[in-house]
Chain A
Amino acid sequence: MSFCEQFPVGEQTSDAAGADRDERGSENSEQSIICLRCPRGCEISTTLDGYGGIVEIFGNVCKLGREYVEAEITNPLRILPTSVRVRSGERPLVPVWTPKPIPKGRLMDLARATRSIELEAPVAIGQVVIENWEGLGVDLVTSGAVRRA
Chain B
Amino acid sequence: MQSRDFDVVVMGAGIVGSMIARALSRYAIRVALVDRANDVGTGASCANSAILHSGHDPSPGSLKAEMNRRGNELWHDLVHELEVGHRWTGAMIIALGDEQLPGLKKLLARGTENQIPGLEIISRAEVLKREPLLTPDVSGALWTPTAGVIDPFGGTVAAAENAVTNGVSLFLNAEIHDALVSDGTLIAVQTTAGEFRARWFINALGVHADDFMHLAGDRPDFAITARRGEYFIFDPNRVQVQNVLFPMPTDKGKGILVSTTAHGNTFVGPNAEEVADKEDTTATRDGMAEILEGGRRLIPSLESRDIIAGFSGVRATGNANRDFVIEISATVGGLLNVAGIESPGYVSAPAIAERVEGLLRNAGLEMVAKNEWNPRRPARPAFKELNHEQRSDLIRRNPNYGRIVCRCENVTEGEIVDAIHSPVPARDYDAIKRRCWLGTGRCQGSFDYPRVMEILSRELDIPMTAVTKKGPGSEFLARTTKG
Contact present between A and B (CB < 8 A) = yes
CB distance from B453 to the nearest CB of A (A): 14
> B398 near A: Cβ within 8 Å?
no
Secondary structure type dominating chain A contacts? strand
Chain B positions within 8 Å of A83 at CB level = 481
State which residues 137-186 of B face A: CB under 8 Å: none
> B305 near A: Cβ within 8 Å?
no
How far, in angstroms, from A93 to B482 measured CA to CA in the complex?
Answer: 9
CB distance from B214 to the nearest CB of A (A): 50
Chain B positions within 8 Å of A116 at CB level = 482
CB distance from A116 to the nearest CB of B (A): 8
> A104 near B: Cβ within 8 Å?
no
CB distance from A149 to the nearest CB of B (A): 15
How far, in angstroms, from A85 to B480 measured CA to CA in the complex?
Answer: 10
How far, in angstroms, from A86 to B362 measured CA to CA in the complex?
Answer: 68
State which residues 52-70 of A face B: CB under 8 Å: none
How far, in angstroms, from A131 to B482 measured CA to CA in the complex?
Answer: 21
CB distance from B209 to the nearest CB of A (A): 48
Chain B positions within 8 Å of A100 at CB level = none
Nearest opposing residue in chain B for A93, CB measure: B481
CB distance from B445 to the nearest CB of A (A): 23
CB distance from B457 to the nearest CB of A (A): 13
How far, in angstroms, from A116 to B480 measured CA to CA in the complex?
Answer: 12
How far, in angstroms, from A83 to B481 measured CA to CA in the complex?
Answer: 9
Chain B positions within 8 Å of A84 at CB level = 482
How far, in angstroms, from A116 to B482 measured CA to CA in the complex?
Answer: 8
Produce 1/0 per residue, B456-483, CB < 8 A to A. 0000000000000000000000001110
Chain B positions within 8 Å of A85 at CB level = 482
> A115 near B: Cβ within 8 Å?
yes
Produce 1/0 per residue, A81-122, CB < 8 A to B. 001110000001100000000000000000000011000000
How far, in angstroms, from A85 to B481 measured CA to CA in the complex?
Answer: 9
Chain B positions within 8 Å of A92 at CB level = 480-481
How far, in angstroms, from A20 to B482 measured CA to CA in the complex?
Answer: 39
How far, in angstroms, from A84 to B480 measured CA to CA in the complex?
Answer: 12
Chain B positions within 8 Å of A115 at CB level = 482
CB distance from B419 to the nearest CB of A (A): 27
CB distance from A75 to the nearest CB of B (A): 30
Produce 1/0 per residue, B249-287, CB < 8 A to A. 000000000000000000000000000000000000000
Chain A positions within 8 Å of B482 at CB level = 84-85, 93, 115-116
Chain A positions within 8 Å of B481 at CB level = 83, 92-93
How far, in angstroms, from A83 to B480 measured CA to CA in the complex?
Answer: 12
Chain A positions within 8 Å of B480 at CB level = 92
Nearest opposing residue in chain A for B481, CB measure: A93
CB distance from A144 to the nearest CB of B (A): 14
How far, in angstroms, from A42 to B481 measured CA to CA in the complex?
Answer: 33
Chain B positions within 8 Å of A93 at CB level = 481-482
CB distance from A19 to the nearest CB of B (A): 36
CB distance from A142 to the nearest CB of B (A): 15
How far, in angstroms, from A84 to B481 measured CA to CA in the complex?
Answer: 9
Nearest opposing residue in chain A for B480, CB measure: A92
How far, in angstroms, from A92 to B482 measured CA to CA in the complex?
Answer: 10
CB distance from B462 to the nearest CB of A (A): 17
CB distance from B159 to the nearest CB of A (A): 42
CB distance from A92 to the nearest CB of B (A): 8
CB distance from A105 to the nearest CB of B (A): 23
CB distance from B455 to the nearest CB of A (A): 17
Nearest opposing residue in chain B for A117, CB measure: B482
How far, in angstroms, from A93 to B481 measured CA to CA in the complex?
Answer: 9
Known: A92-B480, A92-B481. 7 other contacts (CB 8 A): A83-B481, A84-B482, A85-B482, A93-B481, A93-B482, A115-B482, A116-B482
Chain A residues with a Cβ under 8 A of chain B: 83-85, 92-93, 115-116
- 5 closest A-B pairs by CB: A85-B482, A115-B482, A93-B481, A83-B481, A93-B482
Q: List 5 A-B contacts (CB under 8 A).
A: A84-B482, A85-B482, A92-B481, A93-B481, A116-B482
Chain B residues with a Cβ under 8 A of chain A: 480-482
